[in-house]
A and B are shown apart, each in its own frame.
Chain A
Amino acid sequence: MRKIRPNDPSWADVTPKADFLNRRQIMAGAGAMALGSIAGPSFASIDAKPSKFSTDAKPNTLKEITSYNNFYEFGWDKSDPAQYAGQLVTDPWSIEIDGMVDKPGSYPLDDILKPVTLEQRIYRFRCVEAWSMVVPWIGFELSSLLNRVGVQPSAKYVAFQTLYRPEQMPGQKQGGIDWPYVEGLRIDEAMNPLTILATGLYDEEMPNQNGAPIRLIVPWKYGFKSIKSIVKISLTDKQPPTTWNQLQPREYGFYANVNPKVDHPRWSQATERRVGAGLFAGRQETLMFNGYGDEVAQLYKGMDLAKYY
């Protein structure tokens, strides 16, 4: 029998990196011996430098992050992504960048990643469903990519699109949502240093169920804004459609900023439940902009956030 879930998952609860590397090394070594070669094992481990934008809150465990999330392309249930995302092929991968940019084109992922410095960004993550986690992402600032492709002055918004591949994403065979999933940001939101494209979790490559190989993270907005498995980025002068806003505009606005004062019509956003905090941990208060107000509040100066939710 396994012990009851720990009340406070800490770094100590995570399988030490050395342990599973060691296991891989043993397996790789066994494989190498079987082949009669002396090829050394290769690791997918990512070295990322720490960031001043990281919270010092305790991250959730890798298991929590990878087995409890929404990725409707793989099914409605929070356990579906982990169960069905294994069949998704993420290599080769390229992102089409078009619209109001100087250098449009289809960019292989390797080319996108070659010049960037990966950082570890430990961010609070707040789902619109009123639960939250703390996630150690690995990624780079979206602005660096946009600057490389040359955003034209006329561009006001960035539109994103997720992969559409129903043969590998069984959820896309179901109705309910107009596939492919689309999202968007205003250009100043996209250029904010908090906004990253993430390619990893802890020090591993991004698991398929969390949006491999590359996804958006906008930590002051509800999780659904952080579009996964991106295949297309378009610069435009018009506010792009976003999947949840199209589906249910009363419940999900374009901005999707974490705001304890603007309720979802079906539930309050005043508080949140931290996943992994334990059976009787109760709820904690939700912070305006998920606690990132110092960095982003000025983006919305003068806007009625009850109207632009």
Chain B
Amino acid sequence: MISATLSAPINTALRRVPSWAVYLAGLIPLAWVVWLTLTGGIGVDPVKAIEHRLGKIALWFLIGGLAITPARRFLGINLIKYRRAIGLLAFFYVALHLIAWVVLDMGMLWAQAAADLIKRPYLFFGITAFVLLIPLAVTSNNASIRKLGKNWRRIHMLVYPAVALGVIHYLWQMKVISSEGWLWLGVFIALMAIRFRSFRW
């Protein structure tokens, strides 16, 4: 753990940041994608670029959400109150990524899209990750936490298989896995390793 002299002022400063500010900041990447699209800066194949960028942003938030507990445990930085915002933003971007695929990439060829989802492992992993995230998003409110009690924690354990499938989905769609792909896999494995080790401590 880093020294309390460092983490304490960070936590004090963080206490002044309301979570709505995190939601707002979380929309900046979307605004950036929209801006690039409108100005032509997204490149010569805007469809793929939009789809891929939304997927990548979703991955940032998914991994970011997983990093919150280790950040508190090992760095003493407490971001727990923003975890719901980060998780919901992740779900939001996963959903946009899916919509971009169906509408822009597949051109709403529903039959082909559905057939591909079942036949292609990487698409199947991607859609499964999305489905696993739905109950998390639906129960990300105070009423659900109260109502579900201990079960709420259990349901939210689904985040681990969901992100794992998301990372596999990301790697599997590449023709050759890039160094960035390996990097994200490494970060995910590292986060999982420190988390599940810490349960035994």
Contact = CB atoms under 8 A, between A and B. Distances in A.
B44 A276 contact: yes
Contacts of B37: 4, 279
Interface string A232-266: 00000000000000010000000000000001011
Contact of B40 (A2, A72, A271, A280): A2
Interface residues of A, number: 35
A267 B120 contact: yes
Interface in A256-309: 263, 265-268, 270-271, 273, 275-276, 279-283
A144 interface: no
Interface string B116-140: 1001111100000000000000000
A176 B176 contact: yes
A72 B176 contact: yes
B40 A4 contact: yes
B38 interface: yes
Interface string A1-20: 11111000000000000000
B112 A270 contact: yes
Given A68-B45, A266-B172, A271-B112, A5 B40 contact: yes
Given A267-B120, A273-B105, A282-B107, A177 B176 contact: yes
A133 to B, nearest CB: 10
A76 interface: yes
A25 interface: no
Contacts of B119: 263, 268
Nearest to B38: A4
A174 interface: yes
A221 to B, nearest CB: 17
B176 A76 contact: yes
Nearest to A60: B44
B43 interface: yes
Nearest to B106: A283
Contacts, number: 76
Interface in A32-79: 61, 63-64, 67-68, 72, 76, 78-79
Among B44, B119, B172, the most chain A Cβ lie within 10 Å of the Cβ of B44
Contact of A282 (B38, B39, B109, B178): B109
B173 interface: yes
Contacts of A1: 38-39
B190 interface: no
A271 B176 contact: no
Given A2-B40, A267-B120, A271-B112, A176 B177 contact: yes
A164 interface: no
A225 to B, nearest CB: 15
A263 to B, nearest CB: 7
16 contacts: A5-B46, A76-B176, A174-B179, A176-B176, A176-B177, A263-B119, A266-B120, A266-B172, A267-B123, A270-B112, A271-B109, A273-B47, A276-B44, A281-B107, A282-B107, A282-B108
The 7 A-B pairs with the shortest beta carbon distances in the complex, nearest first, are A282-B107, A176-B176, A2-B40, A64-B44, A68-B44, A283-B107, A76-B178
Interface of A: 1-5, 61, 63-64, 67-68, 72, 76, 78-79, 129, 131, 174, 176-177, 247, 263, 265-268, 270-271, 273, 275-276, 279-283
